[in-house]
Amino acid sequence: MLKGKQRAYLRSIANTLKPVTQIGKDGVTESFLEQLDGMLKTREIVKVTILETAGLDTKETANAVCEALRAEFVQAIGSKFTLYKKNMDEPKIVFPGHAPAKAKVKDENITKKGKPTKRSARK
């Protein structure tokens, strides 16, 4: 489940994206879902267009696709909607304030046993 600031950050990313796939008159098919799932694994965020000939409601379709793919709904504007699904193996999008953990830097004045060295004790 996305938090408000996370969703806002994804919306800012989606603002510059172009739709990579579209839903036509056949609607949401099994092959479309497989293709979209592959795109989400690669990109993590995907924008989809629903053509007028499909005759589908944007938000209802987006929610149905999210449920089928276990993805997160980001936004729907007009006939376009954006989805997000985190890639657990190789994450591409890092949310602000959620930087990957860094290795601890060892203090030069501390020995392996955690005791101060003679140099640092003299200071």
Domain ranges of the chain: 1-87+94-123
3-state secondary structure the chain: CCCHHHHHHHHHHHCCCCCCEEECCCCCCHHHHHHHHHHHHHHCEEEEEECHHHCCCHHHHHHHHHHHHCCEEEEEECCEEEEECCCCCCCCCCCCCCCCCCCCCCCCCECCCCCECHHHHHC
HSE on the CB side for 34, CA within 13 Å?
3
> Token pair for residue 88?
């657990």
In the prediction, which pLDDT does 117 show? 60
User: Which positions ≥6 away from 64 have C-beta within 8 Å?
Assistant: 28
Residue 106 has a pLDDT of: 56
Tokens of 118: 């003679």
Report pTM. Answer: 0.76
Per-residue pLDDT of the chain (123 residues; tens, 9 = 90+): 888 999 999 999 999 999 999 999 999 999 999 999 999 999 999 999 999 999 999 999 999 999 999 999 999 999 999 999 999 888 888 888 776 656 555 555 555 565 666 665 555
Report domain 1-87+94-123's class.
Answer: alpha beta
pLDDT value at residue 115: 61
Which residues touch 108 (CB under 8 Å, ≥6 apart)?
none
So what's the pLDDT on residue 43?
A: 94
